[in-house]
Amino acid sequence: MQINTPFFKQRAHDALADENLQKALAKLKTGFPEKRAIAVDRMPEFEELRNQGRDLKNHIMEHLDLYLEQFERKVIENGGHVHWARTADDANQIILDICQQVDAKTVTKGKSMVTEEIGLNDYLEANGVQPVETDLGEYILQLRHDHPSHIIAPAIHLNLEDVSEAFHANHHRPKSNDPAVLMQEAREMLREKFVAADVGITGANFCVAETGSTIIVTNEGNGDLTQTLPKTHIVVTSIEKVVPTLEDMTLFLRLLARSATGQEFSVYNTLSTGPRREGDQDGPENFHVVLVDNGRSEMIGTEFQDMLRCIRCSACMNHCPVYGAVGGHSYGWVYPGPMGSVLTPQMIGIEKGGMLPNASTFCGKCESVCPVKIPLPKLMRHWREDEFEKHLQPKAARYGLASWAFFAKRPTLYKPYTRMASWLMKSWAGKDGRIKKLPLASGWTDWRDMPAPQGKTFMQAWKEQQKTKTGEQR
């Protein structure tokens, strides 16, 4: 996937002017967040589960090497194979080698953000292996030569008309805007792919160290068909997905579904523990797990280690006002929203990903809904500091900050100038107290009105409060 993060501003500007995208994003604002709130209200112990999830993830990160080695031993004991991939290129070559060993021409794929991260589809196609996405959203995107804009609802940026057009152009059937008809059409087209596939590739939501099992959590049956019908099953996942026990896994499953879609549990929670054994009715003959690092181990022991707690629920982006306004493609790479604003600079470098940590209002909603309490605003601020120290910020931003610092360090200048600025903004406001156009702030006022300052300045209010406290003490 091409890296377009340096063009975030332009892509965001285009997204705000895209009527079809705004129509699709409007559904997000009243969908996942409301369902999550209802699910959380029904579970009084949810906050305690969040604390347990945070603490367990911290424990895992402190002993990550031990749990990964235990997982590897168990997979091998079960008859499977484990492959270690330090980079995306390593992972792609390992997967291609496995496909070539079994002379695979077609592979079916379940939804996997890690395979998006490493660019697996393009790599396989370039080497004569045809990947077929079987998650409905991913399948639609593949037909359109498009990329996911959301980590659990990859085609959320599309409308029904877009899907109908893609199916008509690729399936050569009569066009329909009936969701039931489109769903049945997708089933019929994919069924033959499932049967013909030489290899099935899935991700893994978690890897269980005590049993050597992997689990996929889905709301479609495609994942089960992808990993049980082909003779070879390849699990592609990242190193931080390991958990110590099955009981630990169930803790995260309780957090995951409620945080992601507002369900108490996802429809399919499917464990894979090695290849088919004697007496098994189905399952692959060969079972491989590819554990991808791709920069994650470099986060251990740094201020960004907390990001490795992420269980990919999407709650942060579902509640993010920036994501809700510009969508996932504006972020320019695999991971959008607040979690992507922290993870992307780590993977592609702050030089290319520096725009993303700045694409935040720091309202804190992302941290408040994260099921494992990742301090996302703090981590984005760390990236902003890194960007500033490396002189990577635009000159306008640096000069603006330097100007503010000049006045902030000189209270005798700062106080009158802030009073003057407040008065000017009030004078520019209409009767409704909102500013339609503001110099140097067109990026805001082109799309929304800016509220005019109300009441006194902070310094004035603080001074009065201190006087009141002094009087009470007397």
pLDDT tens by residue, 280-289 = 989 999 999 9
Burial class (CB in 10 A: 0-12, 13-18, 19+), 279: exposed
| Residue range 139-163: mean pLDDT, rounded | 95
Domain boundaries, given as residue ranges, for the chain: 43-298, 395-473
pLDDT at 432 over 90: no
Choose the CATH number for 43-298 among 1.20.1530.20, 3.40.50.10420, 3.30.360.10, 3.40.50.620: 3.40.50.10420
What whole-number distance in Å separates Cα of residue 259 and Cα of residue 251?
A: 13
Q: Are 287 and 81 in contact (CB under 8 A)?
A: yes
What is the DSSP annotation of 115-162?
HHHHTHHHHHHHTT-EEEE-SHHHHHHHHTT---SSSSSTTTT--HHH
pTM: 0.90
Which amino acid, 63? H
Which amino acid, 431? K
**Range in 87-91, 258-262, 373-377, 417-421 the model is least confident about:** 417-421
| Residue range 304-316: mean pLDDT, rounded | 97
What whole-number distance in Å separates Cα of residue 341 and Cα of residue 316?
A: 11
Return the ∠ at Cα 427 (arms to 426 and 429), rounded to 5°: 65
pLDDT tens by residue, 378-422 = 999 999 999 989 989 888 888 888 888 898 899 888 888 888 888
Please count the CA atoms within 13 angstroms of the CA of 325 that sit on its side-chain side: 15
| Residue range 349-377: mean pLDDT, rounded | 96
pLDDT-derived band at 40 (thresholds 50, 70, 90) equals very high
Q: Are 257 and 266 in contact (CB under 8 A)?
A: yes
Burial class (CB in 10 A: 0-12, 13-18, 19+), 424: middle
CA-based nearest residue to 140, from 122, 153, 123, 126: 153
Task: Give the chain's mean pLDDT.
Answer: 93
Long-range contact set of residues 278-284: C-beta below 8 Å, sequence gap at least 24: 282/228, 282/229, 283/228, 283/233, 284/200, 284/227, 284/228, 284/230, 284/231, 284/232, 284/233
DSSP tally for the chain: helices H, then strands E:
23, 12
pLDDT at res. 468: 82
Given the DSSP bridges, would you call strands 286-292 and 81-85 parallel, antiparallel or unpaired?
A: parallel
Helix (H, G, I), strand (E, B) or coil at 464: helix
Q: Are 220 and 269 in contact (CB under 8 A)?
A: no
The secondary structure of residue 276, as a DSSP letter, is: P
pLDDT tens by residue, 185-225 = 999 999 999 999 999 999 999 999 999 999 999 999 899 99
CA-based nearest residue to 32, from 298, 275, 369: 369
Instruction: Enter the tokens of residue 86.
Output: 């330090």
pLDDT at 473 over 70: no
CB atoms within 10 A of CB 260: 25
